Amino acid sequence: MTYTRPRFRNPHLPVNEIGYTQKDYEGALSTLCAGCGHDSISGAIVQACYELAIEPHRVAKMSGIGCSSKTPAYFLSNSHGFNSVHGRMPSVATGAYLANRDLVYFGVSGDGDTASIGMGQFVHAIRRNLNMVYLVMNNGCYGLTKGQDSATADLGSKSKSGHTNPFQAIDLAGLALELGASFVARSFSGDKTQLVPLLKAAMAHPGFAFIDVISPCVTFNNNPGSTKSYDYVREHLEATATIDFVPIKSEITTQYDAGSTKDLALHDESMIRLHKIAADWDPQNRWSAMNALHQARTKGEILTGLIFLDKGLQDLHTVLDTTDKPLNTLKQPELCPGSKALEEINAGLR
Amino acid sequence: MKATDIKDPEYFHKVVDCQYACPAHTPVPEYIRLIAAEQYTEAYMVNWESNVFPGVLGRTCDRPCEPACRRGRVEEEPVAICRLKRVAADHKGDVKHLMPKPAETKNGKRIALIGGGPASLTVARDLAPLGYEIHLYDEQDLAGGMMRSQIPSFRLPAEVLNEEVNFILDMGIHTHLKTYVSSLKEVLEKDYDAIFVGTGAPRGRDLPDLPGRWEAAQSIHIGIEWLASVAFEHTSKIGKKVIVLGGGNTAMDCCRTSRRLGGDEVKVVVRSPFSEMKASPWEKEDAMHEDIPILDCHVPKSFVTENGVLKGMTFEKVHAVYDEKGRRSLVSTGEPDVFIEADEVLMAIGQENSFPWIERDLGIEFDKWEMPMVDSVTFQSTHPKVFFGGDSAFGPKNVITAVAHGHQAAVSIDLFCRGESLQKRPDPMTNLVSQKMGIHEWSYDNAVVDDLRYVVPQADKTMTLANRKVEVELGFNLSVGFKEAQRCLNCDVQTVFNTSRCIECDACMDICPTSCITFTTTGPEEELRQRLIAPAPNTSQYLSVSDLLKTGRVMVKDEDVCLHCGLCAERCPTAAWDMQQYLYSVTKACKLPGAVI
Ligand SMILES: Cc1cc2nc3c(=O)[nH]c(=O)nc-3n(C[C@H](O)[C@H](O)[C@H](O)COP(=O)(O)OP(=O)(O)OC[C@H]3O[C@@H](n4cnc5c(N)ncnc54)[C@H](O)[C@@H]3O)c2cc1C
Ligand SMILES: Cc1ncc(C[n+]2csc(CCOP(=O)(O)OP(=O)(O)O)c2C)c(N)n1
Ligand code: SF4
Ligand code: SF4
Ligand code: SF4
Ligand SMILES: [Mg+2]
């Protein structure tokens, strides 16, 4: 009986701009159930970080409790990480972000972790516009505790044991929109061609980037009648647009019909390029985004892709006018500027 | 690309790189696993069934399997496939009772085998149990061919060879030793039902026109003749200073034998650059380890003699120049010629076929190089009753090739004697069996060990140089043999994909350590190879492509660097992947009584 990952890798693996292969972004071997959607999302995160050529030590992975919140162990082994308490990831992330603004904060949560016990924390992280990615691996159930319905389970969705969910679902993307999140997207664990560019754009976005990723729980919520099963989700997907993430200085080679393409610049000169954009949807208009979400829901469809982007909102550090350096780099002269500086301050208060 | 047809027996066969590269298609991973399980007798029999001479080959095989071994592509060095074979041979128990018995009733057919080398012996082994009466002719005192006359005892002890030759001769073979066949016509007149020619490539090349060649003829020898006369104990010493001409394995055997017969200053002198010499790298290493310098880029110009006594040779120094097509020419460096002293010279500069004993009016056609026209599948000549195999068929190769030819010639002879078409050859025997035993539980050791290749220990040089019969290599001991066996990746345990079960969760693609699996839209092979997660540049190994999946994509797997670790199957929630052992046994005339398949 052996279940270990061999050390050998494909000798033809390409390297990114900083000389790393995808292997350098891997984590430990997953202990989740075989076929769990969460593992695919981990794979997409590895791929996105590799493609962005992020130095792994510049990333901090934050999570709560749940199968989803376990996944940071399975990607980016060379990054920082904090596996916090159930539903409390946002407050730990807030503290970390205030202490060191230079890291890329990657929060991973579950639908239980966010939409139930962690709801209070979640809404305040949005309100404060922390510069972080907040990804919910949404399987409509509490996977880790054996599949109880979560607050994102759809009304009428059938569980494995055959009972029907009598409650309305919380749409986390809709909630994020309502609360003023600056980046809102939805995707599906089984569609890396969409998820990877979304993850890259979310990491490049200088504010709170929320991604709701439908991620089937193969063990407890992949049965017929469930609205979070692989088959159901695949049959009901509808995308706002096809998305490409375009890093600085690169050229696009694929050709699309003029008119159906839209470029959205991000602060670091990279941009999001959308093709085949849905009719009546403007990603930079919050009403239009809400409208698109509601319309899809009425039609029984799951709207995926980028939903909303607001580049104008100030992030928490800007709002609070904090120091632009990580606290751990501040030395004594800055922290204790001396009696002369004190006198000046006192004089100013007189 | 079209979906892969795994029912084609050749598909998975090619994935087992070593077995595919082995001319006799020995099921390598199967015997390596048996060694790891301490089942040496069974491991020996798996070999014996395929390659007839496991003890001999475990010491001397040219090992085309090793450069092909997958381990060399994902790590650095291949599995020591050849030397593991020796572990099986050295530690086997009683095997005689596992071998086919001579047929109790004869089938009335008589076959003549001319030459007693590995090719003929293989034909004998495959046909005798079927009831054929076999007559084997050889001019030497003992059967074995060049395995006896050429391969020196310090590489292959006589006892090892005798044991494996006798396994065959004991099947009731009629031997006619010390019998040189001087006329094929006479043999044909004896009314054999078929004749197999396995006379090898017995003629060593000479330099008849080099100045001085004939003045000191008693000190200048043709390498293979000299080695044979050492093997049969007609020669027991050589001068102190020896030049060996040539850069192939024969040159290596000549120089190393010279060191044991009194040659103190033995030099190998070769025309080509060192890196292009024909000798295997390990043969060169072994020679240099015995203090034999190899002088490359020296072209022989003359033998220098004084009063009929050899003094040495002169050489022109050259370097290699290549034209646009990569063709090499050796161009003089312009330096003065080099003189090298020598008491004796051995010429190991090539080997040729020669058939002075085959009359040219018997219906056997020869080509312009005086080689018989032989069918490369059936080994039949243009005379329906006469078959060729081993070095006599297509020129000098090696023991394992001779064995492979022998098996196929035996199939043909059997079909021929039964009046059936030689073209309609029976299919290989194949079997595909799931290895799943439970969660995280496979019936093979799926863990991939990191160990680097182990080195085979050698006996002390002072001992081996003092006696030409002392074997140099000691072989792996059992614990090192086990560790080396564990390096094998079990390439015969195949990843079998079932399209209809796949739910496209990507689990296999995400887990695969060597990024072999990609789910994508299909396309032409060349283009597809470029856009997989990791490009698949090695076109000599397959891409496996599934039927269309629900999302319109296909599963594409690059078979080239798969570790057969089973993680894809382990992570698949629907068992769309399974690990299944593929056994492939090449078509042979006679099956073993208890053969695995
Ligand atoms: C120096 C040297 C070292 C080698 N080392 C290796 C090695 O390490 N590993 C390896 O795989 N291969 C090695 N080889 C090659 C290998 O020995 C041959 O390829 C192989 O033995 C060929 O087998 P065969 O059955 O075709 O014929 P052979 O082995 O050549 O046997 C032919 C037999 O036919 C007999 N014969 C020929 N003509 C007649 C006749 N007219 N009448 C009666 N008998 C006849 C000969 O006496 C001989 O016994 C070596 C070759 C040489 C020269
Ligand atoms: C404070 C607290 N309350 C309850 C639990 C029990 N618990 C563990 S995981 C979990 C739900 C996880 O659901 P979700 O976040 O959707 O993760 P999933 O396993 O579905 O990925 C709960 C209720 C806990 N660990 N801690
Ligand atoms: S229980 Fe569900 S969510 Fe948890 S690992 Fe298993 S499949 Fe994934
Ligand atoms: S790893 Fe084992 S099975 Fe694979 S090619 Fe090498 S020896 Fe053969
Ligand atoms: S067995 Fe499966 S997981 Fe392992 S290397 Fe091969 S394809 Fe990849
Ligand atoms: Mg959940």
CB atoms A14 and B440 under 8 Å: no
Residues B478 and B389 in one domain: no
Q: What domain range is B189 assigned to?
A: 101-202+353-417
Question: Is the pLDDT at B163 greater than 60, yes or no?
Answer: yes
Q: What is the pLDDT of residue A64?
A: 98
Question: Is the pLDDT at A254 greater than 60, yes or no?
Answer: no
CB atoms A35 and B503 under 8 Å: yes
Could you state, in order of their start, the residue ranges of all structural domains in chain A? 22-329
pLDDT category at A276 given cuts 50, 70, 90 is confident
In this structure, which ligand is nearest to the CA of B486?
4
The answer to which of A59-63, A161-165, B44-48, B495-499 has the lowest mean pLDDT is A161-165
Residues B261 and B145 in one domain: no
On average, the pLDDT of chain B sits at 96
**pLDDT average, residue stretch B339-345:** 97
Q: What is the pLDDT of residue A91?
A: 97
CA–CA separation, B470 vs B465, rounded Å? Answer: 8
Number of structural domains found in chain B? 4
Residues B65 and B179 in one domain: no
Residues B216 and B344 in one domain: yes
Interface of A with B (CB under 8 A): 1-14, 22, 29-30, 33-37, 39-40, 42-43, 189-190, 192, 216, 218, 230-231, 234
CA–CA separation, A180 vs A265, rounded Å? Answer: 20
In a domain, B434, yes or no: no
Residues B372 and B503 in one domain: no
The answer to whether the CB of B576 is under 6 A from ligand 5 is no
In a domain, B441, yes or no: no
What residues in B contact A8, CB-CB < 8 Å?
A: 74-75, 448, 513-514, 563
In a domain, B593, yes or no: no
In a domain, B432, yes or no: no
pLDDT category at A273 given cuts 50, 70, 90 is confident
Residue nearest to atom 2 of ligand 4 (CA): B488
What residues in B contact A2, CB-CB < 8 Å?
A: 440, 445-447
CA-closest candidate to residue A177, choices A102, A71, A284, A75:
A284
Q: What's the pTM value of the predicted model, to 2 decimals? A: 0.91
Which residue of B74, B489, B502, B503 is the best one to mutate when testing the A interface, meaning the one whose CB has the most A CBs within 10 A?
B503
Q: What is the pLDDT of residues A76-128, one digit of tens each?
A: 999 999 999 999 999 999 999 999 999 999 999 999 999 999 999 999 999 99
Write b or e for each residue in A236-249: b if 16 or more Cβ atoms lie within 10 A of its Cβ, otherwise e.
Answer: bbebbbbbbbbbee
CATH code at B578? 3.30.70.20
* Dihedral pair phi/psi, residue B295, rounded to 5°: -100, 110
A216 Cα to chain B: minimum distance (Å): 9
A79 Cα to chain B: minimum distance (Å): 19
The answer to which of A95-104, A169-178, A262-271, B290-299 has the lowest mean pLDDT is A262-271
**pLDDT average, residue stretch A181-190:** 96
Asked if the ipTM is above 0.90, the reply is no
Q: What is the pLDDT of residue A350?
A: 86
The answer to whether the CB of B514 is under 6 A from ligand 5 is yes
Q: What is the pLDDT of residue A347?
A: 94
Burial class of B323 by CB neighbour count within 10 A (0 to 12, 13 to 18, 19+): exposed
Task: Using the mean position of ligand 1's atoms as its centre, give its distance from the Cα of residue B411 in Å.
Answer: 22
Partners of B312 in beta bridges: B304, B341
Q: What is the pLDDT of residue A257?
A: 56
CB atoms A35 and B507 under 8 Å: yes
The listed CATH number (3.40.50.970, 3.40.920.10, 3.20.19.10, 3.10.180.10) that belongs to domain A22-329: 3.40.50.970
Q: What is the pLDDT of residues B73-83, one digit of tens each?
A: 999 999 999 99
The answer to whether the CB of B70 is under 6 A from ligand 4 is yes
Question: Is the pLDDT at B266 greater than 90, yes or no?
Answer: yes
Domain end (from B331, B350, B369): B350
Q: What is the pLDDT of residue B518?
A: 97
Q: What is the pLDDT of residue A39?
A: 97
In a domain, B533, yes or no: yes
**pLDDT average, residue stretch B514-540:** 96
**pLDDT average, residue stretch B409-431:** 96
B579/A contact by beta carbon, under 8 A: no
Domain end (from B335, B350, B365): B350
* Dihedral pair phi/psi, residue B494, rounded to 5°: -90, 150
Question: Is the pLDDT at A252 greater than 70, yes or no?
Answer: no
CA–CA separation, A198 vs A192, rounded Å? Answer: 9
CB atoms A6 and B73 under 8 Å: no
Helices in B135-276 by DSSP H: which ranges? 146-149, 158-169, 184-189, 223-231, 249-260
Atom of ligand 1 nearest to the CA of B156: 8
What residues in B contact A22, CB-CB < 8 Å?
A: 515, 533
B361/A contact by beta carbon, under 8 A: no
The answer to whether the CB of A220 is under 6 A from ligand 3 is yes
CA-closest candidate to residue A192, choices A318, A60, A51:
A51
In this structure, which ligand is nearest to the CA of A114?
2
Atom of ligand 3 nearest to the CA of A137: 3
In a domain, B172, yes or no: yes
Token representation of residue A109? 């949560």
Strands B543-545, B351-352: pairing kind: unpaired
pLDDT category at A275 given cuts 50, 70, 90 is confident
What residues in B contact A253, CB-CB < 8 Å?
A: none
Residues B240 and B259 in one domain: yes
CA–CA separation, B297 vs B318, rounded Å? Answer: 5
**pLDDT average, residue stretch B69-93:** 97
In this structure, which ligand is nearest to the CA of B507?
5
The answer to whether the CB of A41 is under 6 A from ligand 3 is no
CB atoms B505 and A230 under 8 Å: yes
Quick one: DSSP state of residue A30?
Answer: P
CB atoms B506 and A13 under 8 Å: no
In this structure, which ligand is nearest to the CA of A110?
2
Q: What is the pLDDT of residue A253?
A: 52
Q: Which residue of B has its CA nearest to A188?
A: B505
In a domain, B423, yes or no: no
Note whether A119 and A129 are within 8 A (CB).
no
pLDDT category at B595 given cuts 50, 70, 90 is low
The CA–CA distances, whole Å, from A93 to A13, A128, A129, A208, A309 equal 34, 12, 12, 12, 22
Atom of ligand 3 nearest to the CA of A215: 3
Q: What is the pLDDT of residue A280?
A: 84
The answer to whether the CB of A160 is under 6 A from ligand 3 is no
Q: What is the pLDDT of residue A259?
A: 54
| CB-closest option in A1, A30, A35 to B441 | A1
CA-closest candidate to residue A320, choices A63, A121, A89, A99:
A99
B447/A contact by beta carbon, under 8 A: yes
CB atoms B513 and A6 under 8 Å: yes
pLDDT category at A3 given cuts 50, 70, 90 is confident
Question: Is the pLDDT at B507 greater than 80, yes or no?
Answer: yes
Helices in chain A by DSSP H: which ranges? 37-52, 67-70, 89-99, 111-115, 119-127, 172-179, 192-204, 230-236, 286-298, 316-320, 332-335, 339-349
Q: What is the pLDDT of residue B302?
A: 96
Q: Which residue of A has its CA nearest to B570?
A: A34
Q: Which residue of B has its CA nearest to A193?
A: B520
* Dihedral pair phi/psi, residue B581, rounded to 5°: -75, 130
Domain end (from B350, B375, B390): B350
| CB-closest option in A9, A33, A190 to B514 | A9
The answer to which of A261-275, B130-144, B310-324, B351-365 has the lowest mean pLDDT is A261-275
In a domain, B33, yes or no: yes
What residues in B contact A12, CB-CB < 8 Å?
A: 534-537, 561
Q: What is the pLDDT of residues B167-217, one digit of tens each?
A: 999 999 999 999 999 999 999 999 999 999 999 999 999 999 999 999 999
Q: What is the pLDDT of residue A226?
A: 97
B326 Cα to chain A: minimum distance (Å): 27
Question: Is the pLDDT at B597 greater than 80, yes or no?
Answer: no
